[in-house]
Amino acid sequence: MRLWLARICAVTIGVVLVVLSVLFALIQNP
């Protein structure tokens, strides 16, 4: 279970970073 939690956490952070990168691009280029 801990392994899955670590994976889920890593993937979630990865997704959050991609989303924030998209938001960054949109904010900078409205």
Partner 1 sequence: MEGIRWPFAMTGNDMLSATPEPGRRRPHILLGSLWIGAYLLLVVSPLLFVWLAGDTPPGTTRGWDFSIALGFCALSVMGSMFLLTARFRWTASAFGIDIVYYFHRWIALIVFGFVLAHPLILIGVEPLVLEYLKPDAPWHMLAGVAAWLALVLLVVLSIGRKLIRLHYDAWRRVHAGLAVLAVGLAVAHVLGVNYYAGDPGKRELWMIMAVSWLVLWLHVRIVRPALMQRRPYRVTAVTAERGDAWTLTVQPDGHDGLRFLPGQFAWLTLGSSPFAMREHPFSISSSAERPGQLGFTIKRLGDFTATIPDAVPGQRVFLDGPFGAFSIDRHAAPGYVFITGGIGIAPVLGMLRTLADRGDRRPLWLFYAYRTLERLTAYEELESLKKALKLHVVYVLVEPPPQWAGESGCVTQEMLDRHLPATRAEYDYFLCGPTAMTTLVEKYLSSLGVPMTRVHTELFEMV
CA dist list (Å): 24 to 5, 10, 11, 12, 15: 28, 21, 20, 18, 14
Q: Which residue type is seen at 5? A: L
Minimum CB–partner distance for residue 24 and partner 1 (Å): 4
CA 9 to chain centre: 10
Minimum CB–partner distance for residue 4 and partner 1 (Å): 9
Minimum CB–partner distance for residue 1 and partner 1 (Å): 5
Chain residues in the site for partner 1 (CB under 8 A): 1-3, 5-7, 9-11, 13-14, 16-18, 20-22, 24-29
